[in-house]
Amino acid sequence: MKPNNLVEMLDRTVKKHPNKDAFMWKEGGAYKRITYKDFWSRMMHAAAGFGYLGLKANDKVALLSNSNPMWGMTDFASASIGAVSVPIYPTLPSEQINYILNNADVKAIVVENEEQRQKVLNTHSNVEWIITMYPDNQSSYDEGELSFAQLLKYGKEHALPKWENQWRQINRDHLSTIIHTSGTTGMPKGVMLTHGNFLANIEGVQFWLIELLPEDLSLSYLPLSHVFERMAGHYMPLSVGTTIAYAESIDTIQENIQEVRPTVLTSVPRLFEKVYAKVMEEINQGTPVKKNVFNWAVKVGEERYEKYIESSFDQLILGETMSKSFLRKWKLADRLVYQKIKKKLGGRLRGMVSGGGTLNPELAKFFWAIDLPLLEGYGLTETTPVISTNPMIRAKAGTVGKVLPNIDVKVAEDGEVLVKGPSVMKGYYNDDEATSQAFVDGWFHTGDLGQFDDEDYLKIIGRKKRLLVLSTGKNVAPQISESALNDSAYIEHSVLVGDKQKYVISLIYPDYENLEIWAKGKNLQYDSYQELVEKEAALELFNKEIKEHTSNLADFEKPKKWIIIGDEWSVETGELTPKLTVKVNVVEKKYESLIKEAYGSDYSEAVKGEVVNQG
């Protein structure tokens, strides 16, 4: 029998694996652990603590923190009393936090530390309680403030009567969370997701994706405020008894991978792009012999992948895809190359999942070629989030896989992807107009353009609102060019512009981490990013990278000019969303005059801190 709610889902796991590690997290320079049984106990005390503070069903409890076990305790504790969690990205400034707190009618908020506490104190919200996970000993709390340890203490002293009966009465239709969209095209909207939305998505994903096992160890580095991480990297592992290890940050992930040696990894494409860039950088700096061996091994892996794609499901299940002679060649490539790369990723990975953005098909093929299965999926916050995913058996790079078996998807006449099913949101909180616009005849309109291939694998072409219509009559989906450009080790973000123009132009935001390594190797001297991107050697590098990575595109999809950005993009300055995707409308407006000038001239010139370069 299926669980009725997320708390019941966790309860079943706790009873099956009470003494197994549920979470691992870095503290004091070493990883600490907590078992499922102890996690449940503390979660129960947190629930009783919330009850002692007067919180009840349908009250809103916000979370402003990086991922750690207390995040999960808060989430499940609030759910167990029928309250609704409101996750907030910890990178957001006070102004945006203020908007979410007021928009969602938040009554209590759990924050990570003094920095996040101060953000909340600087808002003008009606929050009644501020609970700090890691309080500053010097902080003097006002009325309505306490530490997370105090919350647990109150819970131990004031147990909730009939608590288990309370959470067992929660059904799948009950609201679980309100997650605010990134706001790439306007003010964030509060997406209402139920217990049933998450449970249905878990059930659908498990049909196609890697079968998670209690023996698995999943590395999590995305914030749990990200719906993809919350579902695929949190609820799914907890539903089967998998151990979740938290990375400290994206900057320490290589170190953390070596420490915990995960078997499963979920991420947005950017991490895989960085891994690929590091591998290629090392190979390019190696000897000619090393390069030749590497290239040979990758070609062997690509040949194996092609055999894999051309095989039937029966052949794959029976392992009838490689001849004995080819198998010997592949094992040699595995020993000489694949195993060395795998070792740098902990040596135990059996599958990786990419979501939250477009993955370059060539990148996916590379990881498959070196025997690291990389499965791309597709979804939105409004669909909790997964709509489709590549199956472990016969994944197809360049697609976002097969539609989950418990939802319906169709492509409208104008190419928009429409979705219907139990994992589609309840609606937008306190926004009936936006909700009615999102649904037509029961179908949720994703705003994405897609198509099915002849084997019913879904491909996402781009955003409906971002389709560039050139004055020549050609239609350009920007994501195709942007994905190709972002595959460069020296490009972190790119934005294609050119609606109603003769040709497209690309704004290039460099990957300054790799660019500075390159500059050091060239002995380049500079005092700022602006000065670095103006160097002739840097311009030549970007000329080469851009032309190389767009060589397979149609001529009208290739940028004829590009603008190299010499200042920094961040969440704080407004160009990036909390999940580090580009706010295209903000970027286009910020560089509007520069874009117009680039279209009006055919020469190179440094303007307003950026570099315009003709390709």
pLDDT band at 280 (very low <50, low <70, confident <90, very high): confident
Q: Identify the top-confidence range among 303-312, 378-387, 461-470.
A: 378-387
Q: Which of 390, 500, 508, 378 is CA-nearest to residue 456? A: 390
Query: Hunting for tokens 């009393």 — which residue is that?
Result: 81
Can you name the residues that pair with 375 across neighbouring β-strands? 353
- CA dist., res. 3 & res. 202, Å (int): 11
| Cα 497 from chain centroid (whole Å) | 24
Question: pLDDT tens digit string along 586-608?
Answer: 999 999 888 988 888 532 233 33
Rounded to whole angstroms, the Cα distance separating 73 from 48 reads: 12
Residues 97-114, mean pLDDT to the nearest whole number? 97
Predicted confidence (pLDDT) at residue 264 exceeds the cutoff of 50: yes
pLDDT in tens, 26-58: 998 999 999 999 999 999 999 999 999 999 999
Q: What is the mean pLDDT of residues 266-270?
A: 84
Q: CA dist 52 to 36, 118, 154, Å?
A: 24, 25, 7
Domain ranges of the chain: 6-171+211-266, 467-614
Alpha-carbon distance of 484 to 6, in angstroms, equals 39
441 φ, ψ to 5°?
A: 55, 35
Predicted TM-score of the model (pTM) = 0.85
Q: What is the pLDDT of residues 204-241, one digit of tens each?
A: 998 877 688 999 999 998 889 999 999 999 999 999 99
Give the whole-angstrom CA distance, residue 524 versus residue 241.
51
Question: Distance between CA atoms of 270 and 457, rounded to whole angstroms?
Answer: 23
Q: Is the dihedral of CA 365, 511, 97, 44 positive or negative?
A: positive
Cβ atoms of residues 93 and 573 within 8 Å: no
Whether 441 and 519 have beta carbons less than 8 Å apart is answered as: no
The amino acid that residue 56 corresponds to is K
Average pLDDT across the chain, whole number:
90
Whole-number percent of the chain with pLDDT over 90 = 67
Taking the mean position of all CA atoms in its chain, how far away is CA 569? 18
Q: Tell me, what amino acid is at 511?
A: D
- From the list 147, 110, 140, 115, the residue with the least C-alpha distance to 127 is 110
Alpha carbon distance 412, 451 (integer Å): 10
Torsion of CA 455, 460, 465, 466, to 10 degrees: -130
Q: How far apart are CA 46 and CA 155, in angstroms?
A: 6
- pLDDT at position 502 is 83
Compute the 3-state secondary structure of the chain and give helix, strand, coil in percent, each to the nearest 5.
40, 20, 35
Place 613 in a pLDDT band, splitting at 50, 70 and 90.
very low
Three-state SS for 242?
coil
* Secondary element (H or E) of residue 192: strand 190-194
The listed CATH number (1.10.300.10, 1.20.210.10, 1.10.510.10, 3.30.300.30) that belongs to domain 467-614: 3.30.300.30
CA dihedral 298, 304, 310, 313 (to 10 degrees): -130
Integer angstrom CA distances of residue 369 from 116, 279, 314, 374, 611: 43, 14, 21, 10, 37
- 3-state secondary structure at position 560: coil
- The residues that bridge with 179 in the sheet, in sequence order, are 191
Domain 6-171+211-266 annotated CATH 3.40.50.980: yes
- Give the type of residue at 157: E
Condensed to tens digits (0 to 9), the pLDDT of residues 139-191 reads: 678 889 999 999 999 999 999 999 999 999 999 999 999 999 875 556 789 99
Give the DSSP H/E element, type plus range, for residue 475.
strand 475-476
Evaluate if residue 289 carries a pLDDT over 90.
yes
- The tens digit of pLDDT for each residue in 388-430 reads 999 888 899 989 999 999 999 999 999 999 999 999 999 999 9
Helix (H, G, I), strand (E, B) or coil at 262: coil
Please, are residues 556 and 572 in contact by the beta-carbon 8 Å criterion?
A: no
What is the pairing mode between strands 60-64 and 84-88? parallel
Distance, CA of 303 to CA of 64 (rounded, Å) = 47
Q: Please say if the pLDDT value at position 138 is more than 70.
A: no
